[in-house]
Amino acid sequence: MNLFSWGMYPKIKSNIKNLENKKQLKKYILEDKEFIAYGNGRSYGDSALNKNILNCKTYDYFIDFDEKTGVLHCQAGVLLSDIIETFVPKGWFLKVTPGTKLITVGGAIASDVHGKNHHVEGCFSSCVEEFNIMLENGKVVTSKKGDELFLATCSGMGLTGVILDAKIVLKKINSKYINQTTIKTKNLKETFDFFEKYKHMPYSVAWIDCLAKNENLGKCLLMVGDFHDDGKLDFKEKKKKNIPFTFPSFILNNLSVKIFNWLYYKKAKDGISNQKVDIDTFFYPLDAIKNWNRIYGKNGFTQYQFILSKESSFEGLKEILEEIATSGKGSFLAVLKLYGEANKNYLSFPMEGYSLALDFKIQKGLFELLDKLDKIVIKYNGRIYLTKDVRVKKEIFEKGYPYINQFRDFRKQNNMDKKFHSLQSKRLGL
C-alpha cells in the first residue's frame, strides 16, 4: 500500500506488517530483508519510511504503574495521548512532551523528542528509566540509562532495533490548567530579552512572524507558563475539528501567510497578558484539528527545524529570518524555543541555544532555499533535526552531530546496518 509521513512527502509503496508479539517479531527480524519500525506516522520526513514497514502502533498495552514513584511501564505502541487521558485525572502528566500527543512512546524514544521545557527537563530520554528492545539477531535485551545501546537508541531513529516496551517517569500535577503569560514583542532583540527574562519558567515557546522585515524582524508572541494548583483534574478529550479534504496547493501562498501572520499577531494584546488555559490548548494546539497537514496541498510539506548554539543564536536567526523574508516563502507555523544543555545521546538534536521550526509547502525553489539556510545553520555551528528532515545533504548533516561516527560504528559492529534501514538512513549514510 502507499505510505507517507505526516508531511505527505515522499509517498512510497510499502509492505506493512503489524507487530503482534515477540515470537512473531523474532521470526520477522530473522527474515532476509531490511525494514524500519513505524509508529503513528507523525514524523515529518522519511525517517520511518522504507519498502518494508513494521507497524508498532498495534503493540499498545499499559503493563504497570507505580503510584508512589510515578513510573509507568508500557508497550512501545502506546500513544502519549493514551497516557494523558488515563493519568491526568489521577494527577500525573508527561515529564517531557513534544508539540503533539499523537506519537508513540517508541517513537518518542527513537526521536529523543523534546518540548517547551527542555531548558529545565531535557529530552524525553531524561524520563526513560529503561526499555526492552529486540536486536537484529532476534534477542531481547534491556537497555538502561547510560549504556551504549541507550545512547544510540534514544535519538537513533529506529536504527538499532525494535523497542518493545519502556519504563518512563511521569510528573505529579494538581491541575489540568496552565497559568499562561503571553508577551507580545516588537523585534528579535525584544524576543531574546524576554526569553531570558522568563527562563526561570518551566515552559516557554514563541510563535514568530517569519515574514516580518527591518525593524519588525523577529517579532513574536512568547508564551510561558506553569501548572495551576486548583485540584481540577477532570481532563477529557475535546471534540476535534477536521480538514475533510486536501486543499488546492495555490491556497497557501505568500499573501495568505502574510494575512494569517498579521491577524494572529494583531489579535494578541499589546505588552504582557495572563490567562488560564487547559493542557491541550497550551501543549497541543494543532492536535485539535484532524488532518491539518492537508492544508499544504497534494504535494505535501516539510518542516525545517534547526538549532543554533546560544552564543550564535541571535546573529544566526537574524540572518536566516532575513533570508526567508526575502524569499517570500514564509511559514505561518514558525516556532521558536529555548534549550538547555545537550545530552550524550549520539544523534540527539537539542543543545544549549535556540531552535526555530518552520513549515513549508513543497514547491518549486523550496529545496534551493533550504540549501541556503543549511549553509547559514552550519556557519553558526548549528544542526538539523532528523525527525523533521526529508532532504538535508549528508555532508551538511554530519557537520552538526559530533557523535555521528560513534553511532555508525556501533551500528556496524552490531550488524544493525544489515537489518534496520529507512529512506533517511540510506540518504545520510547512517
pLDDT in tens, 351-383: 999 999 999 999 999 999 999 999 999 999 999
3.30.465.10, 3.40.50.10900, 3.40.50.720, 3.90.550.10: which CATH number matches 62-174? 3.30.465.10
In the three-class reduction of DSSP (H, G, I as helix; E, B as strand; rest coil), residue 8 is classed as coil
C-alpha span between 93 and 120 (Å, rounded): 16
C-alpha cell at 23: 515470537
Residue 401 CA neighbour count, 13 Å, CB half: 25
pLDDT at 261: 82
Tell me the angle at which helices 313-327 and 188-197 cross, rounded to the nearest 10 degrees: 140
Domain(s) of CATH 3.30.70.2520: residues in the chain: 177-396
Q: Which of 289, 284, 300, 204 is nearest to 246 (CA)?
A: 300
C-alpha cell at 157: 531513529
Tell me the angle at which helices 313-327 and 366-379 cross, rounded to the nearest 10 degrees: 160
Angle at 394 between CA 388 and CA 398, to 5 degrees: 85
pLDDT at 391: 97
pLDDT at 255: 80
C-alpha span between 154 and 172 (Å, rounded): 24
> How many CB atoms within 10 Å of residue 203?
23
Looking at the DSSP bridge assignments, the partners of residue 361 are 301
C-alpha span between 359 and 3 (Å, rounded): 20
Domain(s) of CATH 3.30.465.10: residues in the chain: 62-174
Residues whose CB falls within 8 Å of the CB of residue 8, separated by 6 or more in sequence, listed in order: 293, 296, 298, 299, 300, 301
Which residue type sits at 354? Y
C-alpha span between 30 and 417 (Å, rounded): 14
Report whether 274 contacts 225 (CB < 8 A): no
C-alpha cell at 145: 540509562
pLDDT at 221: 97
Beta strands in 14-151 (DSSP E): 15-18, 36-38, 52-55, 62-66, 71-75, 92-94, 128-134, 140-144
In the three-class reduction of DSSP (H, G, I as helix; E, B as strand; rest coil), residue 372 is classed as helix
Whether cis (ω within 30° of 0) applies to the bond prior to 244 is no
Span 257-302, pLDDT tens digits: 888 888 888 888 999 999 999 999 999 999 999 999 999 999 999 9
In the chain, which residues have pLDDT < 50? none
What pTM does this model have? 0.97
C-alpha span between 257 and 243 (Å, rounded): 18
Query: Given this structure, which CATH class describes domain 177-396?
Result: alpha beta
Report whether 328 contacts 200 (CB < 8 A): no
| CA 225 distance to own-chain centroid | 20
Residues whose CB falls within 8 Å of the CB of residue 76, separated by 6 or more in sequence, listed in order: 39, 56, 59, 104, 105, 106, 109, 131, 162, 163, 164, 165, 166
| CA 396 distance to own-chain centroid | 20
